[in-house]
Amino acid sequence: MPIPACDVREHRGVTRIHLALAGLCAGLAGLAVSHAVTMLFTIRATPLVAVAEAVIQLTPGALAETLIQLVGTYDKPLLILGTTLGLLALSAVAGVLTRRSQVFGILVFVAMGVVAFIAVWTRPGASVYDVLPVVVGTITWISLLSFLADYLRSRGAPEHHELSPESRRGFLIRAGIVAGAAVAIGVGGQFIGRARRGVEASRQLLKLPVSRGVVPAGADLGVTGIEPWRSGNSGFYRIDTALVVPTVDPNEWTLRIHGMVDQEIELSYRDLLERQMTETWMTICCVSNEVGGDLIGNAWWSGVRIADLLEEAGVSPEADAVLQTSEDGWNCGTPLAALTDDRSSMLALAMNGQPLPVEHGFPVRMIVPGLYGYVSATKWLVDIEVSRFDRFTAYWTERGWSAEGPVRTQSRIDTPRDGQNVIAGERKIGGSAWAQQTGIEKVEYRLDGSDWQEATLGRVPGLDTWVQWTATVDLSRGDHELAVRATDSSGYTQTSVRRDVVPDGATGWHSVAFQAD
C-alpha cells in the first residue's frame, strides 16, 4: 500500500517512540541487573550510586551548597533520582539513534558504561570486583537494545516507518517482558541487599568475649614474599556453594543437636555466648587446593568446644559420624572421633577477634583441625545430627569426593614465584608447610636438582597451624628450578607423585621455575 506523503512524519514518530521505548526498557534492565549484581556480591555501591557520587565530587562546592540548601536533606535521594532519570533519558536516546544504525545506539550505552566504569574505578580502594556490576549492566544494555531493535527492524521498521498492529503488539509484549524482568530483578536485588545489610548491622553491634590473638614470636619469619602467618579476615580464602550468602540473624539462630544421642540439645546464640570460650590458632584448607595453591588460611578462632556439647547430648556408642547442615541446605559428614577427641574442634563464633564475617559462616560455623573443609567446616551451621557413615551421603561425597577427608601433609613455595625474574646473588626463599594434627618436622628444598637442603622453620604454637620455612640461597645468573617437600612428625615425607585434588586432596611437590639476572 502506498503511504501518503503527509502520513510519513506521523509514522516516523510512532517508530521513534517504539525505538525510544526499546532503549528505555534496555536501560532499565541494565540498571536493575547491575543493582542486583551489586547486592548479590555485596559490592560497596551500585554503578548508579558511584556515578551520583562522582557528580557530587565534580560539582563546584559553592553550587553544591546552594543546591543542598535548596533541597535540604532530600539532596541524596534527589541526586540518585536525577541520575536515574538522566540515564533513562540517555537510554531512550540510544534507542532512537538505532534508527540510523544499531551501532549508534550501542555507542551511547558503551559511553555510559565507560563513565560508570571510571566513576567506580577511581574510588579509593576499588578492586576488579567492584566493576563487575558495570560490566554486567553494560552487557545487558547492549544485548537487550539489540534484541528489541532487531525485532523492530525485522518487522520493517524503521525503514518503512510503519508497524503493523501485530508487530506493534509483538514489540510491546517483548518490551513489557524486558521491563517486567527488570523490575523483578531490581526488587529481588533490593531484597537481598536489605537482608544482608540487616545482618551486617547486627554483626557490627556484637561485642563478643573474645580476643584478637597475638601472633606467637617467631611464627611469622617476616620474609618478603611469604604469605603472612596470620591470614586477615578480608583476604581469607572463601569456598562455598552459596550464590547468595545466607543471611542469618543471630537473634533467630538456633542449632539443633540430635540423632543418635540420649538427649537432644537446642542452642541459641545467647546460649553459646554463656558457655566457656575456647580460643586457638588453626589453619583450615580446602581439598580442592592444588599443589602450590592458596585455598588455605590461618586464623585465631574463638568458639565453643563441640566435644563438650556432644558429651552433654550423650552420643550412642554405635555412632561414627556427624552430619552437619547449613542454613542453605549444604551438608557434610564428619568422623565423630574428630569432634569428640581432644583436638580443638569448635563451633566458631569469631575469627581473628571479630564476629565471623558473613562470607565465612556468620553467626556460627564448625572448624575441625586436621580435616579438609568439605567434611568439617560447615558455615551458617544450623543442624548437627549424630549418625553413621553408612546411613547418609553428603553434598560432596555424592559428587565423587571421599567420605573422610584428613588433610594431607603439604608444603608450598611463596617466594620466588613461578616465572619471576629475580636479582642474581644471595636471596631469601620460603613459603609454608602444614600437617594439621600431626605437625611439621622438617622442610627441605632442592635448587636445580642438587641435594635436598633443610630449611629454617618458624616457631608455631601447636600442631594445627601452618609453619613458615625459609632459607638463603646464592643464585647464579640464569634459569633456576626450586622444589620443596615437607616431612611431618609421623615421619612421612611428601611423595613426589603428582595426584589431582579429586577424590581426597592433591599430592606431589611444589616447584617453581624462575630466572636470576
Q: Which residues bind ligand MTE (CB under 6 A)?
A: 236-241, 286, 326, 328, 330, 360, 373-374, 377-380
β partners of residue 285: 296
From residue 441, how far is each of 280, 459, 493 by CA, in Å? Answer: 21, 11, 9
Q: How many residues belong to the site for Mo ion (CB under 5 A)?
A: 4
Choose from Mo ion, ligand MTE, none: what does 141 bind? Cβ within 5-8 Å by kind. Answer: none
**Least spacing, CB of residue 405 vs Mo ion, in Å:** 9
From residue 458, how far is each of 200, 216, 431, 434, 512 by CA, in Å? Answer: 36, 10, 10, 12, 22
Alpha helices per DSSP H over 206-237: none
Positions 341 through 380 that interact with Mo ion (CB under 5 A): 373-374
Among the listed residues 335, 293, 285, the one whose alpha carbon sits nearest the alpha carbon of residue 466: 285
Within 10 angstroms of residue 75's Cβ, the number of other Cβ atoms is 15
From residue 149, how far is each of 87, 138, 144, 263 by CA, in Å? Answer: 19, 16, 8, 66
Return the SS3 of 38: helix
Q: With respect to Mo ion, which residue has the nearer C-beta, 286 or 367?
A: 286
Quote the CA–CA distance of 263 and 124 in Å, as a whole number: 54
Alpha helices per DSSP H over 122-164: 132-154
Positions 283 through 302 that interact with Mo ion (CB under 5 A): 286
β partners of residue 266: 256
Q: Which residue in the set 115, 136, 239, 424 belongs to the binding site for Mo ion (CB under 5 A)?
A: 239
Going 135 to 136 to 141 to 147, the CA torsion angle's sign is positive
Q: With respect to ligand MTE, which residue has the nearer C-beta, 269 or 330?
A: 330
Determine if 265 is a binding residue for Mo ion (CB under 5 A).
no
Q: In what order do the strands lie in the sheet with 254-259?
A: 265-268, 254-259, 381-387, 321-326, 331-335
**Least spacing, CB of residue 113 vs ligand MTE, in Å:** 32
**Least spacing, CB of residue 200 vs ligand MTE, in Å:** 17
**Least spacing, CB of residue 324 vs ligand MTE, in Å:** 8
Among the listed residues 272, 466, 247, 304, the one whose alpha carbon sits nearest the alpha carbon of residue 370: 466
**Least spacing, CB of residue 226 vs Mo ion, in Å:** 23
Q: With respect to ligand MTE, which residue has the nearer C-beta, 27 or 373?
A: 373
Return the SS3 of 256: strand
**Least spacing, CB of residue 239 vs Mo ion, in Å:** 4
**Least spacing, CB of residue 215 vs Mo ion, in Å:** 25
Given the rule CB under 5 A, which of 76-84, 121-129, 237-245, 409-417 is the region that contacts Mo ion? 237-245
Among the listed residues 412, 423, 426, 433, the one whose alpha carbon sits nearest the alpha carbon of residue 482: 412
Q: Note the residue count of the chain.
A: 517
Q: With respect to ligand MTE, which residue has the nearer C-beta, 295 or 422?
A: 295
Q: Which residue is nearest to ligand MTE (CB)?
A: 373
Q: Which residue is nearest to Mo ion (CB)?
A: 286
Choose from ligand MTE, Mo ion, none: what does 238 bind? Cβ within 5-8 Å by kind. Answer: ligand MTE
**Least spacing, CB of residue 298 vs ligand MTE, in Å:** 11
Determine if 139 is a binding residue for Mo ion (CB under 5 A).
no
**Least spacing, CB of residue 257 vs ligand MTE, in Å:** 17
Choose from ligand MTE, Mo ion, none: what does 104 bind? Cβ within 5-8 Å by kind. Answer: none
Determine if 469 is a binding residue for Mo ion (CB under 5 A).
no
Q: With respect to ligand MTE, which residue has the nearer C-beta, 288 or 470?
A: 288
Choose from Mo ion, ligand MTE, none: what does 237 bind? Cβ within 5-8 Å by kind. Answer: ligand MTE
Cis peptide bond N-terminal to 246, omega within 30: no
Q: With respect to ligand MTE, which residue has the nearer C-beta, 218 or 329?
A: 329
Binding site for Mo ion (CB under 5 A): 239, 286, 373-374
